[in-house]
Amino acid sequence: MLPVLVVHGGAGTIPKELVEMYSEGVRVAVRAGFAILQEGRSAMDAVVEAVTLLENNPVYNAGCGSVLNEHGNVEMDALVMDGRTLANGAVSAVRRIANAAQLARLVMEKTSHVCLTGEGASKFARAMGVPEVPEESLITDRSRKRWEKNLAPGANPVENQMGSKGTVGAVAVDSEGNVACATSTGGMLNKMEGRVGDSACVGCGGYADNRVGAVSPTGHGEAIMKVTLSRLILFHMEQGKSAQEASDEALAYMWERVQGLAGVVVVDPRGGWAARFNSLQMAWAAAQGQQLHYGVYRGEDLIQPLQDPDHHQH
Amino acid sequence: MLPVLVVHGGAGTIPKELVEMYSEGVRVAVRAGFAILQEGRSAMDAVVEAVTLLENNPVYNAGCGSVLNEHGNVEMDALVMDGRTLANGAVSAVRRIANAAQLARLVMEKTSHVCLTGEGASKFARAMGVPEVPEESLITDRSRKRWEKNLAPGANPVENQMGSKGTVGAVAVDSEGNVACATSTGGMLNKMEGRVGDSACVGCGGYADNRVGAVSPTGHGEAIMKVTLSRLILFHMEQGKSAQEASDEALAYMWERVQGLAGVVVVDPRGGWAARFNSLQMAWAAAQGQQLHYGVYRGEDLIQPLQDPDHHQH
């Protein structure tokens, strides 16, 4: 069954007029990442490539297109983990870089630490030669309008946050059976300055272990953290559950304990995979063998041939 | 058996001349925190009180006495979690406050978020009326000397870090059977600016769930994060292991997978407890019933009456 790549573009309620864009973007990303796996390259390379494309796509709440915090700034969290060694890297509340997941990978590979935050992360980025980008290049009209809407008198920021959880992520198994995950996000709309969500917190916003599998979640970060969702799913898989069973059990538990909505993409080291969510929607896509699976609504599992001439890689 | 409080003052190699001070400090803290439990107050109140005393004690690597980062600054991480609701709060890389665990509790109680970092955490502290303290008030001569030693030509910062892991923490069960944990640290000696360790990462640097128990760890943060040590121990307890068995199994696994050294204090909701470590030493103390247990070296379990007239509460 190997290799396999599964990506998501956020769980929540996607505005109708954006559904096709959300779905198209994850398909483009999964094709590009899967091509890397087909070349025999690593699961880590594939998940970072897929997430980079999603960060660069202004539709999603990561990289360009990130939601704005209370002051109108973009602060991003990201995490990567390598199932071979359990090595992981993260950045939190980092500003003015285009690709937070790539920076998280540099933290993993080039430092003895696993997480750098804020200005320290920015300084590390400069030392690594990662270009600083103007904040404006990360901000879309849609992000700014939603931020302004929440500042208006009578606004209900909590309500307006629903549907905004377009965190992106990917999990993969490469042809050698190594698993990896990557997650990247602009966080929560109108969040407080310095707010760190699950996407920078290993075991919550992602986990990868060659012995068990890999998970990347999306959704209500604070709920995901309360149940350490990624690690929880892998514990169920260690107990013999399939990726799908483990995901459904953990999502149901999260709802029961803390009324949280979220979605996950999951792989096991043999190439089994799942894309599950208890939110209304999650844009996801999976590539394996000759097929591309994808969906947005619950129960949806559409299939295209990966080589479909109408769906060239962009 | 309820209530019970267990505290630690860091795992590692404690310099001989400091062993008595390390041990005395955890006994003072456990007596103070346990008095709160005996008054019928909450596990959360008790763990925060115990950790506050340890932060204020210059012996430990938390609050006053924190190790310095590469630039000679103090940046602190802390985490609290309430087992009743799974609510948790954290701060990371926060500067110029005396008691990071109290600020983490405010994040939990006064915001819709679970973690604030850096300058955002400082602004929140000011908004909450938490006094900003001069950085010098957090820096001891010992911290500064160790930092300078690592800047000297030929210094081996990694070697000099060994023995420096005096993170502090506490776990408790109150008389109603609620569990809580608190962890606080200055992090790793000569760490990079913005480095965040396990102590701000829920599931790694602490976890508390009324259904299972509570954990606060100390040791090599990056290793603790690779195995999400706190959540791992509680998963073993969910599978029927005692606090001690679960701790030993998880510490052995951490050594096998990532060669990490750490220690933990653990409680279960019935009042069972453990203080275990695979490092050479860990200063710990536990209070339950009429007895105070404590130790520093492996296998040590010394007992004093809690009311011992020679050991008045300070």
CB A187 within 8 A of CB A199: yes
Q: How many domains does chain A fold into?
A: 1
User: Which of A167, A183, A185, A228 is flagged as catalytic?
Assistant: A167
Which amino acid belongs to residue B13? T
- Cross-chain residue pair B203–A201, CB shorter than 8 Å: yes
CB contacts < 8 A, A to B, total: 154
Distance of CA B49 to the CA centre of its chain: 12
- Give the sheet arrangement for strand B4-12, strand by strand: B115-117, B87-94, B76-82, B179-185, B168-173, B4-12, B281-288, B291-297, B302-305
Q: How confident is residue A164, by pLDDT bands cut at 50, 70 and 90?
A: low
Give residue A64's pLDDT.
95
Nearest to A191 among B113, B188, B202 (CB): B113
Q: Report whether B41 belongs to an annotated binding site.
A: no
Percent of chain B topping pLDDT 90:
86
Residue B13 lies in a domain: yes
* Residue A240 forms part of a structural domain: yes
- A124–B192 CB contact, under 8 Å: yes
Task: Inform me whether the pLDDT recorded for B164 exceeds 70.
Answer: no
Domain with residue B64: its CATH number is: 3.60.20.30
pLDDT over 90 at A146, yes or no:
no
Per residue in B82-141, pLDDT tens? 999 999 999 999 999 999 999 999 999 999 999 999 999 999 999 999 999 999 999 999
> Is B231 within the bounds of a domain?
yes
pLDDT at B41 over 80: yes
Q: Which residues of A touch B257 (CB under 8 A)?
A: 86
Within a domain: residue A238?
Answer: yes
Per-residue model confidence as pLDDT tens digits over A4-17: 999 999 988 888 88
Residue A313, pLDDT > 50, answer no
Does the annotation flag A198 for ligand binding? yes
Phi, psi of B296 (to 5 degrees): -135, -45
What's residue A276's pLDDT?
Answer: 98
The answer to whether the CB of B118 falls within 8 A of the CB of A117 is: yes
Question: Is B117 inside any structural domain?
Answer: no
| Amino acid A180: pLDDT | 98
State the average pLDDT for chain A.
Answer: 93
Say whether pLDDT at B146 is over 90. Answer: no
Instruction: Report the alpha-carbon distance of residue B96 to residue B74 in Å, rounded.
Output: 8
Quickly state the pLDDT bin for B313 (edges 50, 70, 90).
very low
Checking B304-313 for CB contacts under 8 A at 24+ apart, the result is B304/B27, B306/B31, B306/B34, B311/B27, B311/B31, B313/B28, B313/B31, B313/B32, B313/B35
Residues 6+ apart with CB under 8 A from A53: A25, A28, A29, A32, A33
B106, part of any domain = no
Percent of chain B with pLDDT over 70: 94
Contacts of B192 in chain A (CB under 8 A): 111, 113, 116, 120, 124
Domain of A273 in residue numbering reads as 4-85+140-313
Q: Which residue of A has its CA nearest to B191?
A: A113
Looking at chain B, which residue has its C-alpha nearest residue A158? B112
Please say if A167 is a catalytic residue. Answer: yes
Listed in sequence order, the residues at least 6 apart from A154 whose beta carbon sits closer than 8 Å to its beta carbon are: none
Whether B193 is covered by a domain: the verdict is: yes
Q: Please name which of B279, B272, B270 lies closest in space to residue B297, comparing C-alpha atoms.
A: B279
Better pLDDT: A13 or B35: B35
pTM over 0.80: yes
Is A188 in a helix, a strand, or coil?
Answer: coil
Query: Is the pLDDT reported for residue B253 higher than 90?
Result: yes
Closest CA to A155 of A167, A147, A143, A166: A147
User: What residues contact residue B178 under an 8 Å CB cut-off, 6+ apart?
Assistant: B42, B43, B44, B82, B83, B84, B210
Which pair of structure tokens corresponds to residue B79?
């985490």
Calculate how close chain B gets to A201, using CA atoms only, in Å.
6
Instruction: Give the mean pLDDT of B176-192.
Output: 95
Residue A175: count of CB within 10 angstroms of its CB: 15
Task: Say whether pLDDT at A245 is over 50.
Answer: yes
* β-pair partners for B92: B117
In chain B, which residues have their Cβ closer than 8 Å to the Cβ of A194?
Answer: 116-121, 123-124
Asked whether residue B63 is domain-assigned, the answer is yes
